[in-house]
Amino acid sequence: MKKIVIVGGVAGGATAAARLRRLSEKYEIVMFERGEYISFANCGLPYYIGEVITDRKKLLVQTVEGMSKRFKLDIRNFSEVTAIHRDRKTVSVKRVLTGEEYEETYDVLILSPGAKPIVPPIPGIETAEALFTLRNVPDTDKIKAYVDEQQPKHAVVIGGGFIGVEMAENLAERGVNVTLIERANQVMPPIDYEMAAIVHTHMKEHGIQLMLEDGVESFENNGRRIVLTSGQVIDTDMIILAIGVQPESQLAKDAGLELGIRGTIKVNEHLQTSDPNIYAIGDAIEVKNYIHGFETFVPLAWPANRQGRLVADHIHGIDVKYNGTLGTAIAKVFDLTVAVTGNNEKTLKQLDVPYEVVHIHPMSHASYYPNAQQMTLKLIFDKQTGKIYGAQAVGKDGVDKRIDVIATAIKGGLTVRELPDLELAYAPPFSSAKDPVNMAGYVASNIMDGVETVQWHEIDDIVANGGFLVDVRTPLEVARGAIDGSVNIPLDELRERLHELPSDQPIYVTCQVGLRGYLATRILQENGFAAKNLDGGYKLYSLVFGAK
């Protein structure tokens, strides 16, 4: 019977081992893990530092002893695989604690080495003392011990990705003043700028100092002082370096296996590397984007787990393949949920794929039932076919549900025209008779039917260049803030006041969230005007630019 050797005992590796055993009692399965722990709660680590998770044992999902026994595995922790000898189908293994080395044979090899934090050669980084990266349990222990014992007053988080933002939140929850530095103009790259703007505001409200479009030039004073590209200088008590991760592909590279983009391990749809006896899964591999098919690198837990299952099935002779990664991701940011699936505008622009966008601001459930929360939901799609390219949502409640529904719709091949047909569960505590996803589908279908919109980033230029913008909200709403240059004609007076509008130019319309603007647009179009609605209304505009 086959002998299967797995390199890496976390996430994908552990999943593959367990599935292989369920498939057959006869496989010989050896799993090497460089560190002490297998199958730990990667995604929970920031929350242990933040003392949201208080019991360290909970981070250890499976122990070496427990998993070995249950799944009849030969698990060897503190064991680093240092080389693959494809000619004789062996790996070199170093016992980390003793330095001793030996070779182990395999029939099939699964590489699940993961990805490691990028540590760039910034001047002064070698002598920075309280500088941490976060990947595993020992890293977590170090950071938590530092916070517990040194009680830092201030921390700098470098990098505004999901881990950086989660660390900023968890350090803030510990009472640390946090400055987050991000080179881009926004945090959380999988979402687009206007959605991130909502997150920026919320983080600032929770005391995070955000320094966007800035980077670290050097560390001074043993890492107690950070000099930024902008020239600003920050004194701090600790630093979390979270600018991103890179695949652990050195072992694969040294073995002559083909690599993919950004140093990933290249695999086929069966997750086989360029050597068919060697599979690779998880954060280290190149995957195909599910929607547009390009090669990409998506180090997330869901793909790793799914791949772990599929690799076991394929080794067992089942004809399965990995269909690519959609990139569904989610994070809690204080009281907000931020979630995304599919491709964002930035990616589509790079791909030169034409697309349309709608933003809506629905309530999480019936507005007349207590505690309904308004969310911002963005849908990106192809105007010709209605194909869903992606969705993003930010809000305090119900965001995860809507993104999951849209991720499911994408996998089901549904178009935006079919979203209104989704028969979702409605009772007042949970949704509305028209769920936010139904609504997004209606609004997107309107675009396909010829309703024209302009975007939040276009309207100022339009008005500056003489565009006529009608705000159809009530005077009371307008008094609380409106776009410069807009003219107020409340929706319910519009039909009687059409003569106030110029007939020789398009009329741009705005309201609070886009719904009344749409109604106004229809009235105007029916009366012979060329009308365009401001997508997302003043709400989205003011979320990005602040109230005017």
Contacts with 516 (C-beta within 8 Å, 6 or more apart), sequence order: 472, 473, 491
Binding of a copy of itself at residue 404 (CB under 8 A)?
yes
**Could you confirm whether 511 is annotated as catalytic?**
no
The string of DSSP letters for 420-461 reads GG------TTT--SS-HHHHHHHHHHHHHTT--EE-TTTHHH
Structure tokens at 262: 């950004």
Task: Name the phi and psi angles at 297, rounded to 5.
Answer: -130, 110
Closest CA to 519 of 493, 499, 501: 493
From residue 342, give the alpha-carbon distance in Å to each of 208, 346, 404, 448: 28, 12, 11, 20
Give the interface segment with a copy of itself, choosing from 106-114, 181-189, 234-242, 325-333 (CB under 8 A).
325-333
Applying CB under 8 A, among 2, 3, 72, 142 the residue interacting with a copy of itself is: 72
Binding of a copy of itself at residue 325 (CB under 8 A)?
yes
| Helix or strand holding residue 246 (H, E) | strand 245-247
Q: How far is the CB of 48 from a copy of itself (least distance, A)?
A: 9
Binding of a copy of itself at residue 153 (CB under 8 A)?
no
Binding of a copy of itself at residue 408 (CB under 8 A)?
yes
Binding of a copy of itself at residue 1 (CB under 8 A)?
no
How would you list the strands of the sheet with 453-454, edge to edge? 453-454, 531-534, 507-510, 468-471, 487-488
Our CB check for a copy of itself shows the closer of 239 and 439 to be 439
CA contacts within 13 A on the Cβ side of 21? 19
Positions 42 through 71 that interact with a copy of itself (CB under 8 A): 43-44, 47, 52-53, 55, 58-59, 61, 66, 69-70
Applying CB under 8 A, among 20, 285, 326, 534 the residue interacting with a copy of itself is: 326
Applying CB under 8 A, among 304, 312, 459, 531 the residue interacting with a copy of itself is: 304
Binding of a copy of itself at residue 413 (CB under 8 A)?
yes
Give the interface segment with a copy of itself, choosing from 105-113, 141-149, 274-282, 362-370 (CB under 8 A).
362-370
Binding of a copy of itself at residue 389 (CB under 8 A)?
no
Using the structure block, give the residue that is written with the tokens 């409605």: 426
Binding of a copy of itself at residue 233 (CB under 8 A)?
no
Per the CB < 8 A criterion, the answer to whether 59 and 44 are in contact is yes
Our CB check for a copy of itself shows the closer of 192 and 237 to be 192
Applying CB under 8 A, among 140, 296, 341, 510 the residue interacting with a copy of itself is: 341
Q: How far is the CB of 432 from a copy of itself (least distance, A)?
A: 9
> What residues pair up with 532 in beta bridges, in sequence order?
508
Three-state secondary-structure class, residue 90: strand
Binding of a copy of itself at residue 407 (CB under 8 A)?
yes
Binding of a copy of itself at residue 99 (CB under 8 A)?
no
Which of 23, 36, 43, 374 is labelled catalytic?
43
Applying CB under 8 A, among 143, 375, 491, 534 the residue interacting with a copy of itself is: 491
Q: How far is the CB of 86 from a copy of itself (least distance, A)?
A: 31
Three-state secondary-structure class, residue 152: coil
Per the CB < 8 A criterion, the answer to whether 182 and 208 are in contact is no
Positions 279 through 298 that interact with a copy of itself (CB under 8 A): 290
Active site residues: 43
